[in-house]
């Protein structure tokens, strides 16, 4: 029996990115891996493991936050990784950044594997000083916050797809009662999927407000703001406005024919999977530039792609509403694929074993 230890993000244990490791701990053991999650880097139990996955956001109060990164906390992280590499057989860094880009390439020589939630299909992009968000490549100022330092070509082979937030706990009480929800398991407390074919009074819902980007001319919120501007003028039946209570949000989403999910800090958003759960058709900027797992983003089969500049937004949405019967089949395919993958422990375990090897 091999050991897989995870230095987890203490703030969001049980329901966030490491949720599938808590959820499928017994299944991992059946596959020859004893999994345990830990929340202190000084814990002796993480030493001498066959595999150690370090969740990057464990260091979010210091080095992982690009605004607070400095020589001291950089040295602390490098020292920790150096010590771990002496004791564990396989050291894995899980870069939990939202985008396909990364600010963490400075540590890649210190680890055996560099996992990301989503990886660019064209990895050559990582070998140059580029925008951390590829879809804004022609809009960035020269700022260390917006750019990543290159990954050495010799280290590119370490960059692999880990797993994305599609495997978080999306059950209604998965956040506030995370420990209890995890204990109950999905047989007693399953995900509440809504039928795609139920009657829906709303064409779409999109909660949010116009954002001013706090990084100056770096337009992280550009897509979001374009959607909100469009909703102010559209003749479609929509619900919009500032955030509402969780129960109200889910009621609106389950009553909507489609769900728009623009990029934010990264390409993949919680709203993507909430759309699949609610049975609403997912409409979002094209995803064909990246690899991820679980990958439920198949253009015109599980979701409707938009151009990154959203110039085709109005035409796409009006066509969907006019031909909703046809598009419901795409929504159904997306929901069924997600439902299969989110309950497939064996496929997840096989992907993890392949990624960390």
State the DSSP H helix or E strand holding residue 285, giving kind and residue range, or none if neither. Answer: strand 281-285
Opening angle at CA 225, ends 235 and 310, nearest 5: 70
pLDDT-above-90 percentage for the chain: 77
- Domain 192-342, CATH 3.40.50.2000 — does that match? yes
d(CA 21, CA 349): 9
Q: Which two tokens stand for residue 280?
A: 């609403």
pLDDT at position 216 is: 46
pLDDT bin (cut points 50, 70, 90) of residue 178 is low
pTM: 0.93
pLDDT at position 316 is: 95
Q: Which two tokens stand for residue 232?
A: 């102010």
- pLDDT score of 167 more than 60: yes
d(CA 297, CA 191): 20
pLDDT in tens, 231-290: 989 999 999 888 899 999 999 999 999 999 999 899 999 999 999 999 999 999 999 999
Residue with the larger pLDDT of the pair 349 and 144: 349
- pLDDT score of 84 more than 60: yes
Judge whether 18 and 343 are in contact, CB under 8 Å. no
Phi and psi at 312, nearest 5°, equal -100, 15
* Token pair 């950044």 in the structure block, residue: 97
d(CA 45, CA 309): 48
Burial 114-148 (b: 16+ CB within 10 A, else e): bbbbbbbeeeebbeeebbbbbbbeeebeeeeebbb
Measured in Å, how far apart are the chain's first and last C-alpha atoms? 15
Secondary structure tally for the chain: helices H, strands E = 10, 15
- pLDDT score of 5 more than 90: yes
Q: From the centroid of its chain, how far is CA 67?
A: 21
Please tell me if the domain spanning 2-167 has the same topology as the one spanning 192-342: yes
- pLDDT score of 217 more than 50: no
pLDDT in tens, 49-82: 999 999 999 998 888 888 888 999 999 999 999 9
Segments making up each domain of the chain, as ranges? 2-167, 192-342
pLDDT at position 176 is: 66
| DSSP string computed for 89-114 | S-EEEEE--SSSS-S-GGGGGG-SEE
CATH topology of domain 2-167: Rossmann fold (3.40.50)
Q: Is 279 left (phi over 0), alpha (psi -120 to 50) or beta?
A: left
User: Which residues have CB under 8 Å from 291's CB, separation 6+?
Assistant: 118, 119, 120, 121, 161
Mean pLDDT of the chain: 91
Residue with the larger pLDDT of the pair 66 and 143: 66
pLDDT in tens, 288-340: 999 999 999 999 999 999 999 999 999 999 999 999 999 999 999 999 999 99
- pLDDT score of 104 more than 90: yes
For range 196-210, the mean pLDDT: 91
User: Which residues have CB under 8 Å from 43's CB, separation 6+?
Assistant: none
Q: Which two tokens stand for residue 137?
A: 């490549």
């Amino acid at each position: 029996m091999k050991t897989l230890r995870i230095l987890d993000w203490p703030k969001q244990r049980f329901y966030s990115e490491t949720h599938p490791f808590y959820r499928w701990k017994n299944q991992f053991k059946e596959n020859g891996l004893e999994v345990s999650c830990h929340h202190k880097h000084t814990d002796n139990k993480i030493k001498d493991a066959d595999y150690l996955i370090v969740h990057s956001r464990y260091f979010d109060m210091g080095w992982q936050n690009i605004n607070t990164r400095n020589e001291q906390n950089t040295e602390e992280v490098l020292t920790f990784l150096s010590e771990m590499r002496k004791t564990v057989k396989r050291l894995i860094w899980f870069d939990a950044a939202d985008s396909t880009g990364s600010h963490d390439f400075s540590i890649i020589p210190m680890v055996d594997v560099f996992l990301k939630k989503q990886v660019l299909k064209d990895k050559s992009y990582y070998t140059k000083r580029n925008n951390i968000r590829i879809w804004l490549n022609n809009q960035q100022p020269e700022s260390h916050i917006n750019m990543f330092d290159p990954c050495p070509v010799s280290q590119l082979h370490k960059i692999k797809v880990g797993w994305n937030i599609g495997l978080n706990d999306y059950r209604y009480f998965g956040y506030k009662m995370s420990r209890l929800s995890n204990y109950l398991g999905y047989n007693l407390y399953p995900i509440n999927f809504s039928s795609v074919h139920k009657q829906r009074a709303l064409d779409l819902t999109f909660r949010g407000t116009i954002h001013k980007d706090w990084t100056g001319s770096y337009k992280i919120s550009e897509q979001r703001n374009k959607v909100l501007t469009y909703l102010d003028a559209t003749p479609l039946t929509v619900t919009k406005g500032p955030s509402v209570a969780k129960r109200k949000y889910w009621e609106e989403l389950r009553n909507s024919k489609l769900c728009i999910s623009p990029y934010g800090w990264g390409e993949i958003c919680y709203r993507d999977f909430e759309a699949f759960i609610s049975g609403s058709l997912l409409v979002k900027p094209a995803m064909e530039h990246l690899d991820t797992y679980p990958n439920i983003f198949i253009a015109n089969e599980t979701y409707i792609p938009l151009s990154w500049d959203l110039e085709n937004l109005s035409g796409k949405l009006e066509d969907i509403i006019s031909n909703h019967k046809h598009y419901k089949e795409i929504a159904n395919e997306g929901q069924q694929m997600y439902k299969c993958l989110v309950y497939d422990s064996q496929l997840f375990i096989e992907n993890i074993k392949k990624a960390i090897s």
